[in-house]
Amino acid sequence: MNVEAEPLETLRRRTSVKWTEYPPEVLPLFVAEMDYPLAPGLSRVLHERIAASDSGYVGSPGELPVVFADFAERRWGWRPALGGIRTTTDVSVAIVETLRQAIRPGDGVVITSPVYPPFVEFVNEAGAVVVDVPLLDAADRPSGYALDLPGIDRAFAAGARAMLLCHPHNPLGLIHPSDDLEALAAGAARHDVLVISDEIHAPLVHAGETFTPFLSISDAARSHGVTVTSASKGFNLAGFKCALMIAESPSTVALLDAMSFEVGARTSILGLHASIAGLRDDEEWLDGAIAAIQASAELLAVLLAAKLPDAGCRPPRAGFLAWLDLRRLGWGDAPAQRILDEAKVALVPGLDFGAPGAGFARLNLACSPEVLTEAIERIARIAP
């Protein structure tokens, strides 16, 4: 299925933060929302539910655990145990509530910067302390980055009780190799640490790439891991508030079962139906969206080479986010601010992702070729 971004005049009728945060002269390539129309299957189901005035409280996860397990088996060769699948509002809530069950106030939680900025807020909200073990520079890896496994193990040995794993990793589009995941799981088991694997971008793994879910890696991963995920990134459903928490051992299932009833009850009924329909009926649309994203990534490489050769970017292997290295432009640690002020293009500042993001910015690729071209041309015009 061919998936294309909607025209700017249509997009500007949307009321999400992407289209209301800045005035119309700014091209918004910051927040992780797609410019594509909704997938047809889930759109049809949402219209049906609205026509039925089906806007009450969720009673149970319904078909979602089976539908997700079917999807995961088709896409990644992993079929999670249905008895360990729960729902909640979104991945943010899933992470915070899982942390609350797994740690005590003041415990350390490992994150790996540069990483999704709210990870710091989630740790703080759960009453824990951030232990940052930055990713390593790894020129031999496709993304240029890798987990610092010795550093993570030292943090575990020093007393960290949990880790937030971003897999695929935002903002890099990095898919952690299975060998690294196996070593991480072994270290977590050795030190009795819980790994919460945020796999929200996994449905958007690019064609030709291999994604290995954390819980599929080993018995150690299953005994010391919880996966949190959602259809929200893959199908552009962030506002519909439905996410999954997945556990595959008695001890980790017990963590989910110890949560308040309200954690699951706050799931949106429309989000539940949209997630079921997207995962079950809209894989052709999803593949079309991935193809459009990969085309954008290829176009970005061409544009940078031609118009902004001092900027660097390694193509993401998953998701629709590009990590721009703007250090050679001489714009200091926060180039996104200058780009917003002078080029009228909104990117996410690299420093939002932690200290290793100085001189970087994150760009959203899920837009039309025309918008992407205009954005890079605007930035090029203010470059030295």
pLDDT tens string 167-207: 999 999 999 999 999 999 999 999 999 999 999 999 999 99
Q: How confident is the model at residue 231 (pLDDT cuts 50, 70, 90)?
A: very high
Specify the residue for token string 């943090």.
155
Q: How confident is the model at residue 140 (pLDDT cuts 50, 70, 90)?
A: confident
Cross-sheet strand order for the sheet of 360-364: 321-325, 360-364, 348-349
Mean of the pLDDT values across residues 216-245?
A: 98
Round to whole Å and give the CA distance between 261 and 349: 37
Query: Exposed (0-12), middle (13-18) or buried (19+): which is 24, by Cβ within 10 Å?
Result: exposed
Mean of the pLDDT values across residues 33-58?
A: 98
For 323-382, the pLDDT digits (tens) are: 999 999 999 999 999 999 999 999 999 999 999 999 999 999 999 999 999 999 999 999
Q: Residues 191, 177, 286, CA angle at the centre, nearest 5°?
A: 120
User: Has residue 143 got a pLDDT over 90?
Assistant: no
Give the residue extent of every domain in the chain: 8-38+283-382, 47-281
CB 363, CB 375: distance < 8 Å: yes
Mean of the pLDDT values across residues 62-84?
A: 97
* Fold topology of 8-38+283-382: Aspartate Aminotransferase, domain 1 (3.90.1150)
What pLDDT is recorded for position 382?
Answer: 97
> Does the domain formed by 47-281 have CATH 3.40.190.10?
no
Beta strands, E only, 107-261: 108-111, 129-132, 136-137, 145-146, 162-166, 194-198, 225-229, 243-246
Compute the CA torsion angle 67, 69, 70, 71 (nearest 10 deg): 90
**Six-digit token pair at 212?**
């290995």
Mean of the pLDDT values across residues 256-278?
A: 97
**Reported pTM:** 0.97
Mean of the pLDDT values across residues 150-156?
A: 98
